[in-house]
Structure 1
Amino acid sequence: MTSDKTRAGDVIPLREATRAWFAISLQTFGGPAGQIAVMQHKLVDEKRWIGQQRFLHALNYCMLLPGPEAQQLAIYVGWLLNGTLGGLVAGVLFVLPGVVALLALSALYVGAGSTAFVTGLFAGLAPAVIAIVVQAVQRVGKRALHHPVLVAMSVASFVALTVFKVPFPLVVLAAGVIGWLVGQRIPAFVQSRGHGGAADGPEPLISDDALHHDAPSTVRGLKVLALGLVLWFTPVAVAAAVFSRDSVFVDQGLFFSGAAVVTFGGAYAVLSYVAHQAVNVFGWLKAGEMVRGLALAETTPGPLIMVVQFVAFVGAYRSPGSLDPWVAAVIASLLVTWVTFVPCFLFIFLGAPYVERLRNNLHLTAALTGITAAVVGVIANLAVFFALHNLFERSRTLAWGPVDLDLPVLSSWDPVAFALTAVAVALVFGAKWSTLRTLGVCAVLGLASTLVT
């Protein structure tokens, strides 16, 4: 097992690990649950490089963090197996296929978005995404809302976002504080956050003691933090110097850097916030286009938060400044991808040595339990947002005191969109079809409906 190592400190040969991570990267469809399942099968069951308990231990830490937990889990396990270089290889390969695929699909959308073919395609994809987001509400809610207080927090977060337009970061912050307070008084409020499954699993070939580890220290932490922040924000600073502070690149770089640190609960949780800011504040794209970007992200491997790449591409294409629109779109797309995923590496490399201490911190677990409950309401708000802007052609705003509620104009309902949404709901909840299969059927139906009409 160790005779062909190429670097000192590797638990397994880096080349062999790289091949495994590349194979995993091509199978990361279906959201974080599916992505974690792929890693579980490949690394725990098949390769037996890491034990079930250690795998779940790493997962629990990643679920404490903002950002895509599946990618962070890949970085963490890569770090355990091959140190910092292993973490970099695992994390980069995990997102690389999705970045390339979504860049191509974003270009196709911008270049051919007005054709009958692409219009018909999205006519079917958008309703399917509504059904998929509703399914996410059901799945997360079933796992997270195990106490009446959590149900109440979920409903409150939905009302705060939908009716009163409370900013998403404030909802997350309030949920964390309430969760921490309630957790001190109601022990049953805090429950294990594992994904389930056997706690033992197959016997690993490598002992826990042999896995990579760094002794936690203030000096090491400050070095990692400083390097991570420099890498994170240097491209944004360069964009400001080259294109001016008012350019779309700086706006997008700063906004998505902020979004990267409030994405508790996965991509669905933050997308309502991103959609509102991108559409209503910055004007990078139209309301209906957000769901189209999500549909594209659903069809590509990698974390769903990759949809921000589509938002950046479209926004920069339409506001390129002095650059060619295509050049601006590619630069913005890559810049936003960078500021979205670099924090994932920083969080893992900075926090991994302290993971045992964090995992056993009941106060932090209680706060995260509250945030997870709020996330259910946040995802429900996203479903309402998508339904409003894709099932109806027009909407109106009800403003009365603190109330700021968007309502549909019922006469503008789209019968085809309603019918396709019903089909998607039947496939997802009735037939239990996978996300990719449902998207494919609805895309064909949408294309057919456009050609017929």
Structure 2
Amino acid sequence: MSETTAGPRYTLWQMVRYMLRLGTLGFGGPVALVGYMQRDLVEEREWISQEDYKEGLALAQIAPGPLAAQLGIYMGYVHYRVLGATLAGIAFVLPSFLMVLALGWAYVRFNGLPWMQAVFYGVGAAVIGIIAMSAKKLTQKSIGSDRLLWAIYLLLVVVTVITESELAWMFIASGILVWLLRAPPKWLARGSVQAAALTQAPMAGSLIGAMDVSLLAQIGIFFAKAGAFVFGSGLAIVPFLYGGVVADNHWLNDRQFVDAVAVAMITPGPVVITVGFIGYLIAGLPGACVAALATFIPCYLFTVIPAPYFKKYGRLPGVLAFVDGITAAAIGAITGSVIVLARRSIIDIPTALLALVTVVLLWRFKKLQEPAIIVAAALAGLVLYPLLRA
């Protein structure tokens, strides 16, 4: 009997406390965060079954919005439904939101954060080591020795490295492929009217965005579109944000936008929380709150609304095969993103050494906490960066 049927081995408040801790200390972006959830909730605490975790990961991949936040919401939903999903989501996002608010205030107050480049120099390299180890563990646990899943996994690694983006349609196609090969349906349903209507949603969002509204309303509409229509994890949202924030609306300049992305990488929790920093630079505290709410409410809805159907039909052979295919594709894309990010963060010998040392430490010392590595890497960056740029 599954964990879900037998009942939870933890209280709702234990899950909330865990999400608060993960949101406060979980460095490394979406790749690392989904790895932490598997390690902590599935393997060590055994609060969540492997099947429930895989369902949550699959749902987070096929729905638009930030991967780690959606998976965290689903982890809260597994045993405590809507209340658990709501509290887990808030607990996961709130700590990093408060951090970017503080950084936004300091950025405006002191006219930029020149030290950020030095910190990011060290942290960026260490993060590569952290997410590489997370990707390795995810691959071992979820792919195993299955040849079909390995083929899908490797294909997505290559595609992600070449395109430097995560293609949502490939996740869905992978799920359908495994479904058709391993549990072929007796009949195939035709596309529904609702599905056709969803294809028009981005166009409707564009029409709304063209209306003459106040600045806060413009911020809300733009970031709601970012949360509702951008697929992929972590930095996948960055090109969309750049187009709207810098190129179209001219709310920020290039330097400010790059600093906003750096803030996302040096703070724990979901990378997408950079929307709070951007919103603060545009319109202060109200702008930050509107941008964050508009971005995360769609991903919350895209997780909670379909979740009951995942729970009800998730044990059917066809659904299990579909989830296996999407999971293999998702982990392949995550592994590919490690290589993409490494190209940008490992720029010289010192950063390569920092990444290598991080991998060795995590491999050798299983109980070593990632925040300790992040702090050490930040200090190394503050020392090394000025010397190398002198």
Q: TM exceeds 0.5?
A: yes
Secondary structure class of the residue paired with 2:76: helix
Secondary structure class of the residue paired with 1:448: helix
In 2, are the aligned partners of 1:77 and 1:87 still within 8 Å (CA)? Answer: no
- Aligned pairs for 1:240-255 within 5 A: 241-243=212-214, 250-255=221-226
Change (3 A) 1:386 1:106: farther
In 2, are the aligned partners of 1:256 and 1:339 still within 8 Å (CA)? Answer: yes
Distance 2:340 2:326 in 1: 21
Distance 1:137 1:368 in 2: 18
Distance 1:166 1:116 in 2: 29
- Aligned pairs for 1:4-83 within 5 A: 20=14, 23-28=17-22, 29-30=25-26, 31-35=33-37, 59=53, 61-66=55-60, 67=67, 68-79=70-81
In 1, are the aligned partners of 2:118 and 2:382 still within 8 Å (CA)? Answer: yes
- Which of 346, 353, 363 lines up with 1:419 in the alignment? 353
2:196 matched to 1:257?
no
Mean CA deviation greater in 250-259 or 432-441: 250-259
Distance 2:260 2:129 in 1: 15
- Aligned pairs for 1:87-236 within 5 A: 87-108=85-106, 115=113, 117-146=115-144, 147-164=146-163, 168-184=167-183
Q: Equivalent residue for 1:376?
A: 331
* 1:41 shift after superposition: 11
Give the unaligned 5+ runs of structure 1.
Answer: 1-10, 12-16, 46-51, 186-221, 223-228, 264-269, 299-303, 318-325, 393-413
* 1:430 shift after superposition: 3.7
* 1:256 shift after superposition: 2.4
Q: Equivalent residue for 2:382?
A: 447
In 1, are the aligned partners of 2:263 and 2:274 still within 8 Å (CA)? Answer: yes
In 1, are the aligned partners of 2:77 and 2:83 still within 8 Å (CA)? Answer: no
**Which of the pair has the greater relative contact order for Cα pairs under 8 Å at 6+ separation?**
2
Q: Equivalent residue for 2:312?
A: 357
Higher helix share: 2
Q: Equivalent residue for 1:273?
A: 236
- Aligned pairs for 1:273-312 within 5 A: 273-278=236-241, 292-298=262-268, 304=269, 306-311=270-275
Change (3 A) 1:159 1:87: closer
Distance 2:303 2:114 in 1: 45
**Matched AA of 2:346:** L
Q: Equivalent residue for 2:293?
A: 338
> What does the per-residue CA deviation read over 1:4-40, in whole Å, with 9 as the maximum and x for residues that have no partner?
xxxxxxx9xxxxx786565334322442454577668
Q: TM-score, normalised by structure 1?
A: 0.60
* 1:446 shift after superposition: 0.9
Mean CA deviation greater in 67-76 or 127-136: 67-76
Percent sequence identity over aligned pairs:
19
In 2, are the aligned partners of 1:239 and 1:250 still within 8 Å (CA)? Answer: no
Give the unaligned 5+ runs of structure 2.
Answer: 1-6, 27-32, 61-66, 185-193, 195-200, 247-251
**Matched AA of 1:121:** V
Q: TM-score, normalised by structure 2?
A: 0.69
**Matched AA of 1:387:** A
- Aligned pairs for 1:397-416 within 5 A: 414-416=348-350
> What does the per-residue CA deviation read over 1:168-223, in whole Å, with 9 as the maximum and x for residues that have no partner?
223223222222223237xxxxxxxxxxxxxxxxxxxxxxxxxxxxxxxxxxxx9x
Distance 2:216 2:104 in 1: 25
Change (3 A) 1:290 1:140: farther
Paired positions, count = 338
Secondary structure class of the residue paired with 2:86: helix
Distance 1:241 1:256 in 2: 21
**Matched AA of 2:226:** F
Change (3 A) 1:245 1:441: closer
Q: Equivalent residue for 1:391?
A: 346
Change (3 A) 1:129 1:339: same
**Matched AA of 2:377:** C
Distance 1:245 1:294 in 2: 22
* 1:310 shift after superposition: 0.8
Change (3 A) 1:447 1:95: same
**Matched AA of 2:228:** S
Secondary structure class of the residue paired with 1:360: coil
Secondary structure class of the residue paired with 1:65: helix
What is the Cα-based RMSD across aligned positions, in Å? 4.3
Change (3 A) 1:434 1:87: closer
* 1:156 shift after superposition: 1.1
* 1:105 shift after superposition: 3.4
